[in-house]
Amino acid sequence: MSSIVLGVSGGVAAYKAALLLRALTESGHDVRVVPTPSALHFVGAATFEALSGNPVTTDVWADVPEVAHVRIGQTADLVVVAPATADLLARAAAGRADDLLTATLLTAHCPVVFAPAMHTEMWLHPATQDNVATLRRRGAIVLPPAVGRLTGPDSGPGRLPEPADIAALAQLVLDAGPAALAQDLAGRRVLISAGGTREPLDPVRYLGNRSSGLQGLALARVAAARGADVVLVAANVDGPAPFGVRVERVGTAEELRTAMRTGAREADVVVMSAAVADFRPESVAPTKLKKGSAAEPSSIPLVRNPDVLVELVAERSAGQLVVGFAAETGDAEGDVLAHGRAKLARKGCDLLVVNDVSDGRVFGRPDNAAVVLGSDGSATELPPGSKDSVAAGIWSAVVPHLG
Ligand SMILES: Cc1cc2nc3c(=O)[nH]c(=O)nc-3n(C[C@H](O)[C@H](O)[C@H](O)COP(=O)(O)O)c2cc1C
Q: Is the CB of 54 under 6 A from ligand 1?
A: no
What's the pLDDT band for 364 if we cut at 50, 70, 90?
Answer: low
Give me the CATH number covering residue 7: 3.40.50.1950
Q: Is the CB of 87 under 6 A from ligand 1?
A: yes
Q: Tell which one of 12, 15, 121 to mutate to probe ligand 1, the residue whose CB is within 8 A of the most ligand atoms.
A: 12
Give me the CATH number covering residue 292: 3.40.50.10300
305 and 386 in a common domain: yes
pLDDT of residue 379: 93
For 229-239, what is each residue's pLDDT tens digit?
A: 999 999 999 88
Which residue type is seen at 345? A
215 and 155 in a common domain: no
The strand ranges marked E within 51-101 are 78-84
> 135 alpha carbon to ligand 1 midpoint, in Å?
19
CA atoms within 13 A on the CB side of 83: 27
The last residue of one of the domains, among 162, 180, 198, is 180
Show Cβ contacts of residue 299 under 8 Å, excluding neighbours closer than 6 positions: none
Selection from 165, 241, 182 nearest residue 402 by Cα: 182
65, containing H or E segment: none
Show Cβ contacts of residue 120 under 8 Å, excluding neighbours closer than 6 positions: 150, 154, 156, 157, 158
> 85 alpha carbon to ligand 1 midpoint, in Å?
6
Neighbours of 377 (CB within 10 A): 8
pLDDT of residue 154: 81
For 183-213, what is each residue's pLDDT tens digit?
A: 999 999 999 999 999 999 999 999 999 889 9
193 and 171 in a common domain: no
148, containing H or E segment: strand 146-149
Q: Is the CB of 174 under 6 A from ligand 1?
A: no
Neighbours of 12 (CB within 10 A): 16
289 and 254 in a common domain: yes
196 and 324 in a common domain: yes
Q: Identify the domain containing residue 166 by its residue range.
A: 3-180
Q: Is the CB of 36 under 6 A from ligand 1?
A: yes
The last residue of one of the domains, among 180, 211, 226, is 180
Q: Is the CB of 110 under 6 A from ligand 1?
A: no
CA atoms within 13 A on the CB side of 132: 20
Residues designated as active site: 209
Question: What is the 8-class DSSP label of residue 276?
Answer: -
> 15 alpha carbon to ligand 1 midpoint, in Å?
13
Give yes or no for residue 274 having a pLDDT over 90. yes
Angle at the Cα of 161 from the Cα atoms of 156 and 166, rounded to 5 degrees = 160
pLDDT of residue 294: 87
> 128 alpha carbon to ligand 1 midpoint, in Å?
14
Q: How far apart are CA 198 and CA 190, in angstroms?
A: 24
What's the pLDDT band for 402 if we cut at 50, 70, 90?
Answer: very high
Looking at ligand 1, which atom is closest to the CA of residue 91? 25
**pLDDT above 70 covers what percent of the chain?**
98
Looking at ligand 1, which atom is closest to the CA of residue 99? 26
Q: Is the CB of 368 under 6 A from ligand 1?
A: no
What's the pLDDT band for 152 if we cut at 50, 70, 90?
Answer: confident
Selection from 212, 235, 248 nearest residue 327 by Cα: 212
Q: Is the pTM of this model over 0.85?
A: yes
218 and 161 in a common domain: no
Query: Using CA positions, which residue lies closest to atom 6 of ligand 1?
Result: 11
Average per-residue pLDDT for the chain: 94
Give yes or no for residue 362 having a pLDDT over 60. no
For 91-150, what is each residue's pLDDT tens digit?
A: 999 999 999 999 999 999 999 999 999 999 999 999 999 999 999 999 999 999 988 778
Query: Using CA positions, which residue lies closest to atom 17 of ligand 1?
Result: 10
Show Cβ contacts of residue 218 under 8 Å, excluding neighbours closer than 6 positions: 386, 387, 388, 390, 391
Name the domain count of the chain. Answer: 2
For 26-67, what is each residue's pLDDT tens digit?
A: 999 999 999 999 999 999 999 999 999 999 999 988 888 888
300 and 328 in a common domain: yes
What's the pLDDT band for 361 if we cut at 50, 70, 90?
Answer: low
DSSP codes, 9-43: -SSTTHHHHHHHHHHHHHTT-EEEEEE-TGGGGTS
For 61-102, what is each residue's pLDDT tens digit?
A: 888 888 888 899 999 999 999 999 999 999 999 999 999 999
Q: Is the CB of 281 under 6 A from ligand 1?
A: no
Show Cβ contacts of residue 209 under 8 Å, excluding neighbours closer than 6 positions: 196, 197, 275, 277
